[in-house]
């Protein structure tokens, strides 16, 4: 399988070795270069590329809670199925993230709602207290890395989130389209940390910014853009 993709992918080690070969960075700095590659790939996956994006299904426990995945760096959205598509849930900061242990089990205290449904937004115009989402609400407990849900009629949801794209137990494969931006990032960091001439920092930073722009253009999908434009249109009276 990997052999068939060899033209489109490179291992993390191959990228690191290639940078050492083409640059003035001494071989003794190979460990630092590998770390720069990891840091750069993580940054590119979060701010430019979708290579580290994951959409996966998770099931909440009896307290309407889901543990955040270990590889989650940023949460983009949460969905449930709706009319052969997906529907985005609404984040509500007024959902309590309080639990307690009762008879050896974790429960939501009754004085904190007991996990019961919360009120939908009320009021109109400037007096509204929030929109209504009849599919459900959630809030993120960043400290305990958990998501609490309310007003749900199902226990399974889809998390849409960003990861570093780095595999811990398997070989990490990096798309070749990312390689130029990644090389520029490594050279920029090597200059910043004095591994190469620090006076070259701005040169490599400018190259990194240019390569990020090129990568954004490569990821730009005209069909998706057109579909997004059409979704904003609706029928109206002809004038």
- Let me know whether 45 and 57 are in one domain: no
Residues 202, 213, single domain; the answer is yes
Pairing of strands 105-107, 9-11: unpaired
Q: What value does the mean pLDDT of the chain take?
A: 85
Reported as a single tens digit per residue, the pLDDT across 26-80 is 999 999 999 999 999 999 998 888 888 899 999 999 999 999 999 999 999 999 9
Q: Angle CA(183)–CA(180)–CA(74) in degrees, nearest 5? A: 80
Q: Which of 43-57, 130-144, 146-160, 218-232 has the lowest mean pLDDT?
A: 218-232
Q: Are 182 and 44 in contact (CB under 8 A)?
A: yes
Percentage of residues in the chain with pLDDT exceeding 70? 84
> pLDDT, tens digit, for every residue of 105-143?
899 998 988 989 988 765 443 434 456 898 999 999 999
Q: Percent of the chain having pLDDT more than 90?
A: 64
Positive or negative, the CA dihedral 77, 81, 85, 88 is negative
Sorting pLDDT into bands at 50, 70 and 90, what band is 3? Answer: very low
What gap in Å lies between CA 187 and CA 207, rounded to an integer? 10
Same domain, 141 and 98: yes
- Would 237 be classed as within a structural domain? no
In a domain, 228, yes or no: no
Task: Tell me how many domains the chain contains.
Answer: 2
User: pLDDT, tens digit, for every residue of 182-195?
Assistant: 999 999 999 999 99
Give the domain extent around 20.
9-50+167-220
Indicate if 201 and 214 belong to the same structural domain: yes
More confident of the two residues 133 and 227 = 133
Whether pTM > 0.75 for this model: the answer is: no
What's the CA gap between 106 and 22, in Å, rounded?
A: 56
**Domain stops at, among 162, 187, 211:** 162
Residue 94 lies inside a defined structural domain of this protein:
yes
Same domain, 173 and 89: no
The token duo for 163 is: 């990861």
Predicted confidence (pLDDT) at residue 235 exceeds the cutoff of 50: no
CB burial string 127-161: b at 16+ within 10 A, e below: eeeeeebebbbbbbbeeeebbbbbbbeeeebbbeb
- 147 and 180 together in one domain: no
What is the rounded radius of gyration, in angstroms, for the C-alpha atoms of the chain? Answer: 23
233 falls in which pLDDT band (50, 70, 90)?
very low
> Considering only 31-40, 172-181, 195-204, 220-229, which range has the smallest mean pLDDT?
220-229
The reply to whether 80 and 143 lie within a common domain is yes
Residue 85 vs residues 47, 81, 82, 96, 147: alpha-carbon distances, Å: 26, 6, 5, 30, 23
Domain end position, chosen among 162, 185, 210: 162
Is 31 within a domain?
yes
Is residue 44 located within the same domain as residue 57?
A: no
Q: Same domain, yes or no, for 78 and 120?
A: yes
- Number of neighbouring beta carbons within 10 Å of residue 40: 22
Q: Give the residue from 144, 162, 180 where a domain finishes.
A: 162
85/142 same-domain check: yes
**Are 180 and 139 part of one and the same domain?**
no
The Cα–Cα gap between 239 and 232 comes to 19
Residue 110 belongs to some domain of the structure: yes
In a domain, 200, yes or no: yes
Whether 66 and 148 map to the same domain: the answer is yes
């Amino acid at each position: 399988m990997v052999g068939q993709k060899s033209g489109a992918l490179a291992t993390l080690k191959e990228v690191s070795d290639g940078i050492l070969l083409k640059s003035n960075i001494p071989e003794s700095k190979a460990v630092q270069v590998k770390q720069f590659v990891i840091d750069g790939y993580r940054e590119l996956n979060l701010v430019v590329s979708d290579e580290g994006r994951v959409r996966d299904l998770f099931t909440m426990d009896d307290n309407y809670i889901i543990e955040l995945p270990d590889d989650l760096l940023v949460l983009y959205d949460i969905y449930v199925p709706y009319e052969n598509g997906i529907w985005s849930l609404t984040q509500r900061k007024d959902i309590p993230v309080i639990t307690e242990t009762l008879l050896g089990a974790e429960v939501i205290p009754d004085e904190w709602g007991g996990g019961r449904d919360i009120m939908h937004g009320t009021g109109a115009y400037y007096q509204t207290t929030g929109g209504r989402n009849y599919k459900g609400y959630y809030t993120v407990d960043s400290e305990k890395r958990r998501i609490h849900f309310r007003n749900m009629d199902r226990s399974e949801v889809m998390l849409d989130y960003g990861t570093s794209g780095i595999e811990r137990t398997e070989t990490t494969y990096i798309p070749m389209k990312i390689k130029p931006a990644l090389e520029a990032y490594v050279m920029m960091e090597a200059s910043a940390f004095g591994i190469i001439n620090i006076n070259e920092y701005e040169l490599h930073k400018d190259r990194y910014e240019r390569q990020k722009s090129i990568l954004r253009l490569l990821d730009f999908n005209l069909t998706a853009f057109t579909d997004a434009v059409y979704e904003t249109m609706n029928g109206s009276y002809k004038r």
